[in-house]
Amino acid sequence: MSDTDNDKAGIETDALLSRLLVIEDQPLESRAAAFTQLHDELQHRLEGGDSA
């Protein structure tokens, strides 16, 4: 993995952590919907990577 790849992974990790913190601050019902949406997005990315 190159330095550029490491930088990109670090930025993506930071973005995910920031998003999780925002979700955690929401009321329970909103939090559940936000986690479901995040799960769906991550699942789509992972499954999309299998076809490449």
Distances (CA, A) of 28 to 15, 21, 23, 24, 36: 22, 13, 9, 9, 12
Mean predicted confidence (pLDDT) in 4-24: 86
Look at the chain and report how many structural domains it folds into.
1
The residue among 40 and 2 whose pLDDT is bigger is 40
Mean predicted confidence (pLDDT) in 16-40: 96
- Domain hosting residue 11, numbered range: 3-50
> In this structure, are residues 24 and 31 in contact, taking their beta carbons and an 8 Å threshold?
yes
**pLDDT of 36 above 80:** yes
Short-list 42, 7, 44, 10, CA closest to 23: 42
As a whole number of angstroms, the distance between CA 41 and CA 19 comes to 13
Mean predicted confidence (pLDDT) in 9-19: 89
